[in-house]
């Protein structure tokens, strides 16, 4: 039998990782807004897409009834956070952002990734509980 949650509407906005992600994206948006057009078109666009994908996947996963589907979406969010780190690094290497900004955004991405992994582990624990019940 496939492990499933009790049908209910859960509010992804209450997740701390979601809230931190929203703040992180706000920082990124403010930074990218100041870039030259050429930099926005490639690196900025990709950075905004990948960073917003983190919380979009998290929200979509949180809306699932099946545990494994939720884990898959969180896994996608994890990948998008890592992709965002690459775009931040490329912006730094191109001289678009300073080292301090790069390190701050990168550290925030690492924190989000750790929180996503912790959430995945929590869900896997819930699956184990359902199976043993």
In a domain, 94, yes or no: yes
What does the pLDDT look like over 24-47, one tens digit per residue? 999 999 999 999 999 999 999 999
Reported pTM: 0.91
pLDDT for residue 1 is more than 70 = no
Is the CB of residue 109 less than 8 Å from the CB of residue 88?
yes
Question: Hey, which residues does 122 pair with through a beta bridge?
Answer: none
* The pLDDT of residue 82: 99
* The pLDDT of residue 132: 75
Instruction: Supply the range of the domain harboring residue 86.
Output: 12-28+37-132
* Between residues 80 and 125, the one the model is more confident about: 80
* The pLDDT of residue 51: 99
What SS3 state is found at 66? strand
CATH code at 82? 1.20.1440.60
Give me the helix-helix angle, 45-62 and 67-93, nearest 10°.
160
What does the pLDDT look like over 102-121, one tens digit per residue? 999 999 999 999 999 999 99
> How many domains does one find in the chain?
1
Match 């948006």 to its residue by tokens.
Answer: 29
In a domain, 7, yes or no: no
* The pLDDT of residue 126: 86
* The pLDDT of residue 131: 77
CA pseudo-torsion sign 73, 77, 78, 82? positive
């Amino acid at each position: 039998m496939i492990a499933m949650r009790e049908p209910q509407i859960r509010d992804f906005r209450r997740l701390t990782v979601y809230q931190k992600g929203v703040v992180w994206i706000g920082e990124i948006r403010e930074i990218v807004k100041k870039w030259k057009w050429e930099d926005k078109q490639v690196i900025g666009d990709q950075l905004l897409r990948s960073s917003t994908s983190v919380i979009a996947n998290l929200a979509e996963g949180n809306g699932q009834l099946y545990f494994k589907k939720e884990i898959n979406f969180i896994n996608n969010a994890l990948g998008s956070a890592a992709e965002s780190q690459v775009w931040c690094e490329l912006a730094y290497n191109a001289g678009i952002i300073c080292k301090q900004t790069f390190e701050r955004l990168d550290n925030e991405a690492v924190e989000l990734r750790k929180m996503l992994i912790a959430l995945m582990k929590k869900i896997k624990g819930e699956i184990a509980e359902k199976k043993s019940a």
